Amino acid sequence: MSTDDAPAPPTEADLLDATWQQVTPEAARRMLIAAVQAFAQRGYHATTTRDIAALAGMSPAAVYIHYRSKEELLFQISRLGHELALEVLRGVADSEDGPAARMAAAVRAFARWHAEFHTTAKVVQYELAALSAEHHAQIAALRRRTEALLRGMIADGVTAGVFAVPDLTGATLAVLSLCIDVARWYRPGGRRDPGQIGDLYADLVLRMLGAA
Amino acid sequence: MSTDDAPAPPTEADLLDATWQQVTPEAARRMLIAAVQAFAQRGYHATTTRDIAALAGMSPAAVYIHYRSKEELLFQISRLGHELALEVLRGVADSEDGPAARMAAAVRAFARWHAEFHTTAKVVQYELAALSAEHHAQIAALRRRTEALLRGMIADGVTAGVFAVPDLTGATLAVLSLCIDVARWYRPGGRRDPGQIGDLYADLVLRMLGAA
DNA sequence: CTTATGCCTAAGCGCTCGCTTAGCGTGCAG
DNA sequence: CTGCACGCTAAGCGAGCGCTTAGGCATAAG
């Protein structure tokens, strides 16, 4: 094997390690990553704390050393996951490109994130209903910021006369919906890799917004 | 109260009764409708057979008079629900309009269905993972027919030179995804009623497809 | 050495789950 | 009237759930 082959695509484990690097100590991170995998595959309610502990290679009681409850584990995943997704959009929002290029970059990055980190994204986007009322309210606030960021980018394009959008709120809803739903249908090893999905969606959205 | 007021919008119960009219006997239908409501609100795994029976006004054991198991109840909901959704698309596919008008009508009807019958649609679209392998395979076949129907309508438009779509499969995926996701975010009493969502989405999709 | 602290496991508590069993009441055939 | 089939309920079984408790084994300070 030569050393100058194209780099192998990162494994699922690599991606999860990178995603959750900030969680410490290491045992708490291992437990959280195990929970993300189990929640994504089976859903929150179908996952037992014994499943999570076994995936993390520890005893069932070890869950409660680092987390108060199974719901608290979901909340930490959801909170940090939403912040990561928000960061992806913010990284693009500050660019000095024109509104159309910036919007294309935002959709490309956001859709791509939902494919590449689909395991995390599935939990973040589809397990909200299992959160307690207090935790759900905190997450809802983060989601409103995401929506506002995207709406602002579309509004800028309209103001600049680059986009032709009869219904700003409706268009924002549709763009957000399109990107989020990637986490539902994406399968690794499918015909499109995450980068290609980002490119495809950036193009489709620009047309949807009537970009000049 | 005059008798020529605008007709009141149908209640949730009206919609569910209309949706599941074909299920007999009446007690089996009541049980199934109760299951749809519970599965949509809490999710399949968070719903107990006691929840379902209580909603239907019967004892926990009554579930098993008409259905072999809780999973069989989900399967019947999923199978009939997918057939209803498919019927919505088929009702439009046979029209003799041009490709663009037909596609607009399809998206309008399909998106609208996912809003109006959002309770049913949520179970149909988001609880597939809880089905047994055999049942899941049957449902997957129905989903492939839905996708093929939509792809055919887009392909017709491309052939006729009315749509400009660089990636047929990708565009089909995006359109389907957009409509399905309506069931996730739609809330009755929101700023858009189901008809308006259908109109909005028909317009957005035509632009996405580069309709002449 | 002793003692204290932090991370972990073995064991298990109380509860609720999906589902079964035994039997009741009603309506209809003979 | 009798007898049986059907749709239902009351009661409960075995299993598995989320989470707790008691204690073991390191490390490190005194």
> How many Å apart are CA A18 and CA B139, to the nearest integer?
36
| CATH code of the domain made up of A69-209 | 1.10.357.10
Give the pair of three-digit tokens for residue B158. 């491309």
* Cα–Cα separations (whole angstroms), residue A14 to A29, A33, A85: 13, 11, 18
User: Is the CB of B46 within 7 Å of strand D?
Assistant: no
Overall average pLDDT of the B21-32 stretch = 91
DSSP state of A18: H
Smallest CA–CA separation between A178 and chain B, in Å?
Answer: 5
More confident residue, A5 or A166: A166
Please determine, for residue A58, whether its predicted confidence score (pLDDT) is greater than 90.
Answer: yes
User: Is the CB of A132 within 7 Å of strand D?
Assistant: no
Could you identify the residue written with the tokens 């919008």? B9
* Cα–Cα separations (whole angstroms), residue B41 to A34, B36, B63, B163: 27, 8, 19, 39
> How many Å apart are CA A163 and CA B12, to the nearest integer?
38
Q: Which of B61, B104, B62, B106 is nearest to B88 (CA)?
A: B106
Overall average pLDDT of the B35-55 stretch = 98
Identity of the residue in B129, B184, B204 whose CB atom sits nearest the CB atom of A208: B204
Nearest nt to the B73 alpha carbon by C1': C18
Give the model's pLDDT for residue A54. 97
CB proximity under 8 Å: B 57-116 to A: none
Q: Which nucleotides of D are covered by protein (CB under 7 A)?
A: 7-12, 16-22
> How many Å apart are CA A132 and CA B129, to the nearest integer?
23
**B122 touches B183 (CB < 8 A):** yes
Identify the weakest region by mean pLDDT among A41-55, A185-199, B13-27, B193-207. B13-27
User: Is the CB of B71 within 7 Å of strand C?
Assistant: yes
- Mutation target to probe the B interface, by most B beta carbons within 10 A, among A124, A177, A179, A180 is A177
Q: Which residues of A are less than 8 Å from B144 in CB distance?
A: none
- Tens digit of each residue's pLDDT (9 = 90 or more) over A38-56: 999 999 999 999 999 999 9
CA of A120 to C1' of C7 (A): 27
Give the pair of three-digit tokens for residue A119. 């395991």
Cα distance from N-terminal residue to C-terminal residue, chain A: 49
Residue A171 at interface with chain B, using a CB cutoff of 8 Å:
yes
Angle between helices B194-208 and B168-180 (to 10 degrees): 160
Inter-chain touch B130–A46, beta carbons under 8 Å: yes
CB proximity under 8 Å: B 12-51 to A: 42-43, 45-46
> Beta-carbon neighbour count of residue A83 at 10 Å?
14
User: Is the CB of A42 within 7 Å of strand D?
Assistant: no
Residue B175 at interface with chain A, using a CB cutoff of 8 Å:
no
> How many Å apart are CA A49 and CA A62, to the nearest integer?
10
**Burial (Cβ within 10 Å: 0-12, 13-18, ≥19) of residue A145:** middle
Residue A147 at interface with chain B, using a CB cutoff of 8 Å:
no
The domain segmentation of chain A, as residue ranges, is: 69-209
Give the model's pLDDT for residue B15. 80
Q: Which residue is nearest to nucleotide D9 (CA to C1')?
A: B59
Please determine, for residue B65, whether its predicted confidence score (pLDDT) is greater than 60.
Answer: yes
Inter-chain touch B178–A181, beta carbons under 8 Å: yes
> How many Å apart are CA A74 and CA A72, to the nearest integer?
5
Q: Using 50, 70 and 90 to split pLDDT, how confident is the model at A113?
A: very high
Smallest CA–CA separation between A174 and chain B, in Å?
Answer: 7
Q: Which of residues 72-131 of B touch strand C (CB under 7 A)?
A: none
- Residues whose CB falls within 8 Å of the CB of residue B77, separated by 6 or more in sequence, listed in order: B32, B35, B36, B39, B120, B123, B124
- Tens digit of each residue's pLDDT (9 = 90 or more) over B151-193: 999 999 999 999 999 999 999 999 999 999 999 999 999 999 9
CA of A69 to C1' of D12 (A): 31
**A99 touches A162 (CB < 8 A):** yes
3-state SS of chain B?
A: CCCCCCCCCCCHHHHHHHHCCCCCCHHHHHHHHHHHHHHHHHCCCCCCHHHHHHHCCCCHHHHHHHCCCHHHHHHHHHHHHHHHHHHHHHHHHCCCCCHHHHHHHHHHHHHHHHHHCHHHHHHHHHCHHHCCHHHHHHHHHHHHHHHHHHHHHHHHHHHCCCCCCCCHHHHHHHHHHHHHCHHHHCCCCCCCCHHHHHHHHHHHHHHHCCCC
**B182 touches B118 (CB < 8 A):** yes
pTM summary value: 0.93
Smallest CA–CA separation between A175 and chain B, in Å?
Answer: 9
More confident residue, B35 or A95: B35
Q: Which nucleotides of C are covered by protein (CB under 7 A)?
A: 7-12, 16-22
Overall average pLDDT of the A192-211 stretch = 97
- What is the interface size between A and B, counted as CB pairs within 8 Å? 71
User: Is the CB of B54 within 7 Å of strand D?
Assistant: no
Average pLDDT across chain A, whole number: 94
What number of CA atoms fall less than 13 Å from residue B101's CA on the CB side?
5
Q: Which residues of B are less than 8 Å from A182 in CB distance?
A: 177
Give the model's pLDDT for residue A9. 74
User: Is the CB of A8 within 7 Å of strand C?
Assistant: no
